[in-house]
Structure formats: C-alpha cells, structure tokens
Chains A and B, each alone.
Chain A
Amino acid sequence: MSKLVLRNLHRSFGSVAAVDGVDLTLAEGEFVSLLGPSGCGKTTTLRMIAGFIPPSEGSIEMDGEVLSAPDAVTPPERRRMSMIFQSYAIWPNMTVEQNVAFGLKLRKLPEAEVRRRTGEILEVVQMGHLGSRYPGELSGGQQQRVALARAIVVKPSVLLLDEPLSNLDANLREEMRFEIRRLHDEFRITTVYVTHDQAEAMVTSDRIAVMNAGRIEQVDDPFALYNRPRTRFVAGFIGRTNFLEARLAGDRLDLDGFALPAGLIDRPAGLNGGPVVLSVRPQSITLHRSAPPGGDGGVAVAAQVLECAYLGEHWDYVVVPQGSDTRLRVTAGPTQRHQPGEAVWLRFDPAQIVAIG
C-alpha cells in the first residue's frame, strides 16, 4: 500500500519555481532519496512533506489523508513524522536523554515507558553511556547519533532526513551511511532522505529520485539508475560518463569515425532512426594492446592514448579512436599501463551503453 503520495507538487518563492511539479509515491517501509544538485528543490520538497512550507499547488497525502494542499496545511506537530536536520538541531539546554525523551513526553507516555524506550534507543545508536551528557560535550558524530535516536524513538510514520551527513568529515560520513541503512533495516520506517551525494543515496536507498530544476528526472533503484539512466542529466549526475553524438541508421549506430551495432544497445521505445546521444561509462570500454577477439557483441576500434592519470585505485585515460575527433574517457585497472601516444585497441561492451532520446 502506498504510504506517502506527492501529487503534482509545486512551490514558488516570488517568481522562482523551486519545486515545479513533483509526483512521487512511497510504499510503506520504503527508503527513498531525493538526490540532486543544490537548488534543485529537494529540500523544499522535504520541508513541504514536513509541513513547514505550504505547497503553491498540488497535494501531499499520507495513509490516504490529505496533509498538504495550498489552502489547508496540517501543521508539522500533527503529522506524526520526525525529521533529522542538517544542523542536527540538538537542543543544547537539554541532556542527551532529555533530547531523546522529548518526543515521547509530548506524546504523554507513562514515565517508565519513556525511560525504557529512551534507554533502548540510546543503546541501539551506541550512545547508552553518554545519556547524561550535554550536546556541547559531544562530537559531531555523536550529535548525529542523538539526532537519529531522537527521531526514531517516537516511531514516526515517516522519517525525514535533510542532508544529515553533510557536516561530518569524510570517514565518519561513510560510517554513518551504513548506520542509517542498518537502522532502516531494523525499524523499517518509511523514509525520505535528501542529499546531494550520490554515494550516500546509493548506499542508503531502496529507490532514488533524481531531481533537477524543481522536477524529478527519474526514480529508480540504484542499479537501474546507474545502468539505465533515462535522461542526459541523470546519466551525467550519477557517476561519470562519455556523451557521444550518434545517428541511428537501421541496425547501426554511426559515430564520428566508427560504428556500433544498435541491436544490443538499450534505447527508448519508439526511437527508430535519426540523431541520438549515447552514454558510455568509462569502465564499459576496455583497452587492449592488440586487436581483441569479437564475441558477446563486443566491438573493437583502433585508437591512440592522448592523456593519462594515475589515481591509485585505477588509471584514467583519454583516448581518441582512429579517424575521429571524439575524446573518450576510459578507466583501466591499476596495473594496466599505457603511454601517451601509444596505439591501442578499444573494446566497447554494448550491454553497458545506453541511448538517451
């Protein structure tokens, strides 16, 4: 059953349309990320779900009940949600325990239950020994755990997270991604997670909604999103890629100086000819010193190495196919060394190439 439904959601500030027609449906217990560059409208969307901002148009429904519409907005305190803020918003005048217990007390639960649940959740986030500390005495990561505990302990119907890891240092950020996913696996709370970091979204989410300029470009699970991007923006925003101009002619895709068989390449339905853009991931091309064998529909093209850069985990090469002006970025394993100017063979894997409209 669908838990949370955003229908044709709009929000403008003055003449700027921050959110420009968002439709999204979350199933019960699903974890969905809103991923996009800054200014794409993801935080505005989240704050509309929370009830801090009324929509200019459209509606938000939870469990079939309309929470937000332009002329009737249920205030945040009556939505049974909880939220983790970018600044954590841990109240500095209360101890860790008091912070966590706050929502339970507002729900007028008996004292004993408040204490039991507070203690339990603090154990879950590994903060049990710090309950009587004040937030000023905690590190950033610990404050983050308090914010998680405070939001989860009330068993919200929807959990909202607004770039919760952006203020942490890199190592901690990586650790907390898995922590957030672990908590979701444990409690199965329907979650909306806003981030601009694709790795964060891919680690934590069941599905990712990629947003751009106030609209959702594509909603898919991480695997599909990376391998089958539907728009040029999504292909460019999730991971690195080469965009190649091509022309579809029968069963061939003609490129600048070489051609690929069209049959094995994923393409939008109804595209039968004419110009098309291909997204070719750098790792879908392999480098060979001599002409590679065919098979699996792979295509071999002679090329020359133009630039190279060593990044430890892999090599980055820029190569140019013979008789072409197309610069291709290719990644290769750390032991595979080529010099600039060297002649090489490229092998394209058509199964990893996507044609975009």
Chain B
Amino acid sequence: MSTTTIAAAPRIPTARSGLLRRIQVLEPATLVWLALIGVLVFLVAWPIAELVASSLRHPRTGDWTLSNYAAAYGRARYVDALLNSLALGALSALICAVLAVPMAWACSRTDMPGRGFAWFTVLAAFIIPPYLGAVGWILLAGPNSGWINQGWSFVTGTPDSTLFNVYTFTGLALVIALHSYPFIFIFAKSALDLVNSEMEDAANILGAGTWATTWKVTLPLVWPTILAGIILVFLETIALFGTPAIIGIPARINVVTTQLWQFFEAPVRAEVAAAYAMPLLLITLMLIGIQRLLLSRKSYVSQTGKGGERRPIRLGPFWRWALFGWCAFVCLLSVVAPMIALVQASFAKAWGRGFSFDNLTLKNYTFLLFEHDAAWGAVVNTFAYSATSATIAMILALAIAYVVKRNLMPFGMALAFLCMAPFVIPGIVMAIGFYAAYAGPPLTLYGTAALMVFAFTTRFLPIAYANGAAGMQMIHPEMEEAVRILGGGRLTAIRRVVAPLLKKALLGGWLLVFILATRELSAAIFLVGPETRTISVLLYDLSEEGNLESLSALGGILLVITLLFVGAGMRLIGRDFMLRRH
C-alpha cells in the first residue's frame, strides 16, 4: 500500500518530500488500517485462497492438478449427493413458502385474530437450533415408535403402522422447512408492510374483490421479495449440515454436506473435499447475486412506502379463523410438538413410555453434567468460544465500520468487502478453507481452541459488521466533530461519545453472534479436536450413539442457554433484535 496518505487529503505535489511524507505514512491511523487488513487477510482471504489452492494441488507433491476434482466427481454416488442437495433445497424452500406466505399476509394485511401469536411462533421457530427440531421430529415421527405413528397404530388398530416417516426425503425436507420458514415470513411481511391500502383501494374501486386484489395486485407487488426469501432458504438448506446428518445419514440420503463430512473421515481427504465444495460455493455466489438483483428492484415497493393509509383487510369469520388455524397448525408442527417431545424425552427414563410420574427422572441431566466425560467440558467450551468470537467479531466489525463510515483511509471499502465476504460462503465451505489454511504446518492449529474461535469469528463477521455499520450510520459525524472543535482528540470522541451511543447496537450484535455461535455445528464439526468439543458437536456424537434421552437432555441444556440469552437480548434491546433484516 504505497499510496497511503492521511485522511481524505488530496495528494498535492509539494516541495517538501522525504521525512514529512514518511511520518505521515507511519501515522497511528495508518498502522490501525494495516493491522485491520492483516487480521482480515488472516481470517477471511487466506482461508478462501487456501481452499481454492488446495483443491487444485496434489496433497503430497503439491503440484497443480485437476485430479482432486476427478476424485470428487468420479463416482455416481458423489454426483447424486449434489443433485440430492439441490432437490432438497428446492423442496424445503417450496414447503417454507407454503407455510409462511399465508401467515405473513394474514399478519400484515388482515384482521386475523392472534397476529401477535403468529409472530411469536415465527420467532420461536427461528431461535430453536435447527438440529433440536430434528431430534424432536425423530421422537415424533420415527417409524413405528414415534408419537405420531404410535397414535396412528392405535387409531387404525394395526400395530407398527406408519403414518409419516421422518427418515425419508420428504421428512427431511419438512423438518428443515419447519426451521427455515421464518426467513420467508420476514421477507414477505416486511414487503407487505410497505404496500399501502390505496394500492388495493385502486383495484377495489375498479371492481376487484378482496381475493382478486390480493392475487392480482398485492402478491405480485411483493413477489420479488418473496422470491429472494425462497433463494435464501434454498441456500441455507444446501449448506445445512446438522439436520441432514441426524436424519439423512440413518435414512441413507446423501447430500453435499454429509458427503463432505465423509471425505473428512479417516483417511482425511481435505483436498478432495475442497474440490467437492466448489459447486456449493459457486451456486451460492450466483444465487446471492440473483437475490441482490431481485431486492434492488425496490422501485416496485418503495414508491408505495411513503404516505398512504394502511387498513387491515376485513376477512369474514370463516377466513379469519381458517387463517388462524393455519398459523396454529404451523406453530404446533414447528415449535410446540417437537419441543414437548424433546423436553419429555429429556426427563424420561425411557421416552417411549410416555407421560407418567414413574417415568420422570433427572438422571439424563445429572448424567450429562456430572458423569459424562465430555458434556461439561462441551458446555464450558461452547460458552468460551462463543463469547470470545462474539467479542473479537464485534471489536473488529466496529473498528472497520468506523474506518469505513468516517472515510479515514483510502480503500476503506476493501475492508468492508472482506468483512462481508464470509456471507456468501457456506459455513461448511469456510471450515474446509480454515482446515486447509491452518490445520497443518506452519501453524498446526488443528484441535486447538484458537482454530474454533477463528472460524466462528469469520463465520459471523458479516452479521457483526452489519450491526456495527448500522450503529455507526446512526451517529452523525458532527457528534464527533463537536468534541474535536472543543479540544478533544479522536480517541476522546470515540470514548466519550461514539462508544456510549453505540452501546445498545454493540450489545445487540454481540448477543446475536453469541447465540448463533452457541449452536454452530457445520464449521465446528470439521475443525473440532478431542479437547475442543462444543455442545453442538457432542449432540451430533450422541445422535450417532442413538441414546435419545441423553441427546434430548443435552438439547434441553442448549435450549435453556439459548432462551436465557435471547430473553436477555429482548429485555435489553427489544423484542425483534434477532429478526432484523440486514
């Protein structure tokens, strides 16, 4: 960076050269900037570069080769996994849209009763870690023994008959959808909230009824936004590891993420995994590009955003309650039923014996916390890694947001770009990049806490940055200039004005990253060592052992931690702090 100059100063040819110029280059702000670039290269750029490079190199000789790609796609089974992922993504995105769009429309545009309840359902479905829902659904819809199927056997009178088997492709897609539909709900509702009633009145006055108006005017207006939500769910699904591993592996449904995991089983073939991950990366990049395009067509909705009165559509009694019933049904499937099943199993001696006092026990919890050789360590690790990475991510994000928003340095946008880059990289792919870059020599971080913390930090850096930048955006630069003209330096301004004003935004961002890190599985599973297991990794290990009671108890512990921190966040920052769209 030989072109570095002081803040926003034009480069004016002056007679004074040499010493003065060199002092400017070594200004503290320049050093900070260099340090930030260094950290971002370490956390973001280098792992991505190593991911690509290792996919193109022979693991032993280091020669450039395409043999890894040949190995990754040389077998029909591997290609099938990719196709399965795409089909699974499409199906679960479709289910999500079916679940969420009527809910969003009802909540935003109608006088349906219980709109607050529907919103709460969405929030709850969102904060439950996805693989806990999967465990709940194994308890509900395992073949023969699941509650639904037991009930079905009882009703039909035929033992061991199965109404719905979760260990199927549809079952897998449904379980994923029941966690992911909040994305589409939030996208659709935020767009519907901007459509003013005059748009609909204009159609009404020309003779269109409520349904015709909704189909022909309202929904087409928000369709691009809904499509953007569908794309997001698709991407989340193809990058998801936990649920496909817990349900898909026993059901012998192979998808990209579980296949990647198999490349990491001994003997580890990281370079083949890197090659195999490339289509996932490319699809994600492409679809996020398309999504941006859809969302940038704001002219659609934003011109209606201003003014105009918004009245809820009055549904008849039948439709009011029909829509409410739909919301209640979604709530039952996504939150109530799986969580009751999970909690029941966690307190049960044997979950299949049902709800009775003699089946109640705390043994699953006491076993995990006091007897299990890894569980307590996993809880401690989870807290430590999540808190550390949330702290690093927020500090980094804030420093970068400050430099970028205040235009302190040339090429500030390069910093912002690096910060946001992990957003387009699936967590599992990022983890492979970290493995390729830092697991082996020279740093040999494999199995260390540092590697986990670095990976978590990188994974959630975009969220931290979005929060930090939004916070900085709210602070008028004149707030700081007022400090400086009165005699305080930049640091005084940051300490006395910027930091106090950002407290809430920072806390919100920290909590969000912390909560997401406590449940992080797809990056952790590739980088974990014997001493660095987290709750999520342990949960996956327990699911392989098949002890559903201990598994549920560990899920219960994670759920309690999540609820505690979400509750704290809602109290301190506001109800919707996790659902803000960035």
Nearest residue, chain A, Cβ from B497: A91
Query: Which residues of A sit under 8 angstroms from B294, Cβ to Cβ?
Result: none
Provide the main secondary structure of the chain A interface: loop
Query: Which residues of B sit under 8 angstroms from A12, Cβ to Cβ?
Result: 10
Contact A56-B10, Cβ < 8 Å, known A85-B478, A87-B476: yes
Contact A154-B478, Cβ < 8 Å, known A54-B9, A56-B10: no
Stretch of B104-112, B178-186, B283-291, B479-487 on the interface side: B479-487
Contact A103-B478, Cβ < 8 Å, known A54-B9, A71-B12: no
Contacting residue for B485 out of A56, A82, A87, A93, CB 8 A: A82
A63, B210: Cα distance in complex, Å? 75
Contact call A89/B488, Cβ cutoff below 8 A: no
Contact call B487/A107, Cβ cutoff below 8 A: yes
Contact A71-B486, Cβ < 8 Å, known A87-B476, A93-B497, A93-B501: no
A75 within 8 A of B: yes
Contact A56-B497, Cβ < 8 Å, known A81-B485, A102-B483: no
B492 within 8 A of A: yes
A179, B369: Cα distance in complex, Å? 70
Contact call A106/B485, Cβ cutoff below 8 A: no
Contact call A103/B486, Cβ cutoff below 8 A: yes
B266 within 8 A of A: no
Contact call A71/B14, Cβ cutoff below 8 A: yes
Residue among B481, B486, B488 having the largest count of chain A Cβ atoms under 10 Å = B486
Contacting residue for A50 out of B10, B479, B485, CB 8 A: B485
A89, B498: Cα distance in complex, Å? 12
A333 within 8 A of B: no
A75, B479: Cα distance in complex, Å? 16
A79, B8: Cα distance in complex, Å? 20
- Min Cβ gap B468→A in Å is 18
Contact call B9/A89, Cβ cutoff below 8 A: no
Contact A150-B486, Cβ < 8 Å, known A52-B481, A71-B14: yes
Interface 0/1 of A68-102, CB less than 8 Å to B: 00110001111111110111010111000000001
B500 within 8 A of A: yes
B581 within 8 A of A: no
Query: Which residues of B sit under 8 angstroms from A107, Cβ to Cβ?
Result: 487
- Min Cβ gap B521→A in Å is 39
Nearest residue, chain A, Cβ from B16: A71
A160 within 8 A of B: yes
Contact call B485/A92, Cβ cutoff below 8 A: no
Nearest residue, chain B, Cβ from A47: B481
A154, B485: Cα distance in complex, Å? 11
Contact call B481/A85, Cβ cutoff below 8 A: yes
Provide the main secondary structure of the chain B interface: helix
Interface 0/1 of A289-326, CB less than 8 Å to B: 00000000000000000000000000000000000000
Name the interface size band of chain A.
Answer: 20 to 34
- Min Cβ gap A85→B in Å is 4
Contact call A106/B492, Cβ cutoff below 8 A: yes
- Min Cβ gap B480→A in Å is 8
Contact call B479/A83, Cβ cutoff below 8 A: no
Query: Which residues of A sit under 8 angstroms from B489, Cβ to Cβ?
Result: 75, 77
Contact call A77/B485, Cβ cutoff below 8 A: yes
Contact call B478/A87, Cβ cutoff below 8 A: yes
Query: Which residues of B sit under 8 angstroms from A50, Cβ to Cβ?
Result: 481, 485
A83, B8: Cα distance in complex, Å? 21
Contact call A83/B485, Cβ cutoff below 8 A: yes
- Min Cβ gap A253→B in Å is 48
Nearest residue, chain A, Cβ from B488: A106
A185, B59: Cα distance in complex, Å? 82
A189, B478: Cα distance in complex, Å? 22
Query: Which residues of A sit under 8 angstroms from B496, Cβ to Cβ?
Result: 91, 102
Contacting residues of chain B (460-508) with chain A, CB-CB under 8 angstroms: 476, 478-479, 481-489, 492, 496-497, 500-501
Nearest residue, chain A, Cβ from B486: A103
- Min Cβ gap A146→B in Å is 11
B20 within 8 A of A: yes
Contact call B487/A89, Cβ cutoff below 8 A: no
Nearest residue, chain A, Cβ from B480: A89
Interface 0/1 of A102-122, CB less than 8 Å to B: 110011000000000000000
Query: Which residues of A sit under 8 angstroms from B500, Cβ to Cβ?
Result: 93
Contact A154-B501, Cβ < 8 Å, known A71-B16, A76-B481, A85-B478: no
Query: Which residues of B sit under 8 angstroms from A102, Cβ to Cβ?
Result: 483, 486, 488, 496
- Min Cβ gap B471→A in Å is 13
Interface 0/1 of A140-163, CB less than 8 Å to B: 000000000010001000001000
Contact call B497/A82, Cβ cutoff below 8 A: no
A51, B7: Cα distance in complex, Å? 12
Interface positions of A (Cβ within 8 A of B): 12, 50-54, 56-57, 70-71, 75-83, 85-87, 89, 91-93, 102-103, 106-107, 150, 154, 160
Give the 8 A-B residue pairs with the shortest CB-CB distance, closest first.
Answer: A103-B486, A89-B478, A89-B482, A85-B478, A93-B500, A76-B484, A83-B485, A106-B487
Interface positions of B (Cβ within 8 A of A): 8-10, 12, 14, 16, 20, 476, 478-479, 481-489, 492, 496-497, 500-501
Contacts A/B (CB < 8 Å), 29 sampled: A12-B10, A50-B485, A52-B481, A53-B8, A54-B9, A56-B10, A71-B12, A76-B481, A77-B485, A77-B486, A77-B489, A78-B487, A80-B487, A83-B481, A83-B485, A85-B482, A87-B478, A89-B476, A89-B482, A91-B479, A91-B482, A92-B501, A93-B500, A93-B501, A102-B488, A103-B486, A107-B487, A150-B486, A154-B486
